[in-house]
Amino acid sequence: MTQPKIIFLFSGKRKSGKDFISEKLLSRFPPPCATIIRLSAPLKHEYASQHGLDYTELLTASQYKEQHRHDMIKWGEQVRARDPSYFIIRAVHLAKGESFPVWIVSDMRRRSDLQYFRTNYPNECVTVRVSASPDARVNRGWKFTKGVDDAASECDLDDVCAWDHDIDTSHGDEATTSALIGQLLQRCRDVGVVVT
């Protein structure tokens, strides 16, 4: 596997804007320079396969996914208890990460995820915490769900303070988002990655 030059690790609550910023960042790279790695993708794929569900629907921000989220989280925690890196390794493979110098991990949710990347790629990691007020998240379609929003998949990184970058997307401020993207792109230039 080719060693990535830089790995952006995005963390944040549901409907905070992680995917939005990850997609914006991806759009600034010429192909085939960067890929988005969704740690939840192999979990959803395997869960859908084992439970006869629609994998494509589980990838969307749909009510279908919300119906299955709680049980899917429980199942994923059981798998992670046996091997914390199980879904990470599969996510990198699924996204063909070995072919790209830039990895954008759009949904880092657990301390074990952070530890895996920092241990295996100590010089390549750039962490980004994306936050938004509860009101902003509600306006984006979020509704508190017991057993989901108070589970490790949403709360395990809440106490981590040492983020390389931190952005509040509550107000949808394009200038703030653009400034963050600019800082992340500069980090790429610093390690020799071409950006647009």
Which residues are documented as binding site?
Answer: 13-19, 140, 171
- What residue type is assigned to position 58 of the chain? L
Query: How many Å apart are CA 118 and CA 125, to the nearest integer?
Result: 7
Euclidean distance between the first and final Cα of the chain, in Å?
A: 26
3-state secondary structure at position 34: strand
Which residues are documented as binding site for ATP?
Answer: 13-19, 140, 171
3-state secondary structure at position 81: helix
> Do β-strands 34-37 and 165-168 pair in parallel, antiparallel, or remain unpaired?
unpaired
Query: How many Å apart are CA 185 and CA 188, to the nearest integer?
Result: 5
Query: How many Å apart are CA 61 and CA 172, to the nearest integer?
Result: 19
